[in-house]
């Protein structure tokens, strides 16, 4: 059975390969969209970090800090340290892409402050998801070797936790982006045309989370197809 999991099978062809292509396409799209709009300067001239500071302060989050971080598209909000970290191409850049990403990360800080339910659930299941993703394949293989199907089932359920995590990530990400665009538009940080560009950047970023979920579901379906109903044999 080992050779099936690590080898090439029909489920790899019809499930994993299409999901992989979707993931690569989504990644290429977010890179090209970000790159395009990182060369378009917004008319107001605020940088990513300035916009982040303004939106945080306007929401009473004066104690949430903003820091720079190395790398490309490494921007995130750290709920433990309560810090918005912005990458080099966002922190000091007055581009539409930078403004969009900065406002999105601040959206996560506002979700955190408001105890936005999907974010709370997502953070709560992270430890379980981590354990599940480490144990799932060893459990499945052990179950197969021992010909003990309940162990295989537990392994598959453990693997499915990753998909659950990625599913809950979607409303968190979509909500952070819609908050960001509403604020940028409502507070007139960006005009209509600029908001359109920021929306394209954030939509492209959101698609990578959809692609990650599709990949997990494809892997899960393949595991079920290969190991799920062996009692039938």
> Is 67 an active-site residue?
no
Return the half-sphere exposure (C-beta side, CA atoms, 13 A cut-off) of residue 26. Answer: 20
- Judged by CB under 5 A, the chain residues 173 through 202 that form the site for Zn ion are 173, 176
Instruction: Give the nearer residue to Zn ion in terms of CB position, either 107 or 155.
Output: 107
What is the nearest approach in angstroms of Zn ion to the Cβ of residue 83?
14
Contacts with Zn ion by CB under 5 A: the residue count is 2
What is the nearest approach in angstroms of Zn ion to the Cβ of residue 177?
7
Find the angle CA(79)-CA(83)-CA(110) to the nearest 5 degrees: 60
- Are residues 81 and 69 in contact, defined by beta-carbon separation less than 8 angstroms? no
| Residues 156-175, mask of contacts with Zn ion (x by CB under 5 A) | -----------------x--
Question: What DSSP string runs through the chain?
Answer: -HHHHHS--HHIIIIIHHHHHHHHHHHHHHHHHHHHHTTSB-TT---HHHHHHHHHHHTT-TTSEEEEE-SSS--EEETTTTEEEEEHHHHT--BHHHHHHHHHHHHHHHHHHTT-HHHHHHHHHHHHHHHHHHHHHHHHHHHHHTT-HHHHHHHHHHHHHHHHHHHHHHHHHHHHHHHHHHHHHHTTSS-HHHHHHHHHHHHHHHHHHHHHHHHHHHHHHHHIIIIITGGG-
What is the nearest approach in angstroms of Zn ion to the Cβ of residue 77?
7
Instruction: Give the nearer residue to Zn ion in terms of CB position, either 152 or 176.
Output: 176
Q: How far apart are CA 4 and CA 151, in angstroms?
A: 18
Instruction: Give the nearer residue to Zn ion in terms of CB position, either 30 or 163.
Output: 30
Instruction: Give the nearer residue to Zn ion in terms of CB position, either 21 or 182.
Output: 182
What is the nearest approach in angstroms of Zn ion to the Cβ of residue 202?
9
Instruction: Give the nearer residue to Zn ion in terms of CB position, either 5 or 209.
Output: 209
What is the nearest approach in angstroms of Zn ion to the Cβ of residue 75?
8
| Of 67, 105, 192, 193, catalytic | 105
The residue assigned the tokens 């600029």 is 194
Instruction: Kindly list the catalytic residues.
Output: 105
| Site for Zn ion, rule CB under 5 A | 173, 176
């Amino acid at each position: 059975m080992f050779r099936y999991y690590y080898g090439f099978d029909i489920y790899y062809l019809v499930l994993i390969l299409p999901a992989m292509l979707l993931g690569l396409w989504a990644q290429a799209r977010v890179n090209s969209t970000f790159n395009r709009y990182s060369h378009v300067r917004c008319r107001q001239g605020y940088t990513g970090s300035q916009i982040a500071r303004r939106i945080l302060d306007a929401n009473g989050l004066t104690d949430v800090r903003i820091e720079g971080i190395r790398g490309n598209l490494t921007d995130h909000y750290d709920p433990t340290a309560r810090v918005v970290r912005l990458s080099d191409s966002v922190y000091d850049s007055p581009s539409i892409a930078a403004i969009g990403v900065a406002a999105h990360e601040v959206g996560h800080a506002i979700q955190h402050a408001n105890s936005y339910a999907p974010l709370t659930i997502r953070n709560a299941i992270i430890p379980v998801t981590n354990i599940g993703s480490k144990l799932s394949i060893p459990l499945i293989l052990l179950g197969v070797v021992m010909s003990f199907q309940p162990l295989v089932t537990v392994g598959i359920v453990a693997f499915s936790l990753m998909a659950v995590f990625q599913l809950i990530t979607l409303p968190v990400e979509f909500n952070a982006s819609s908050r960001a665009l509403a604020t940028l538009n409502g507070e007139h940080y960006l005009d209509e045309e600029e908001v359109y560009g920021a929306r394209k950047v954030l939509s492209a970023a959101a698609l990578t989370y959809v692609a990650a979920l599709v990949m997990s579901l494809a892997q899960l379906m393949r595991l079920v197809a290969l190991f799920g109903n062996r009692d039938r044999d």
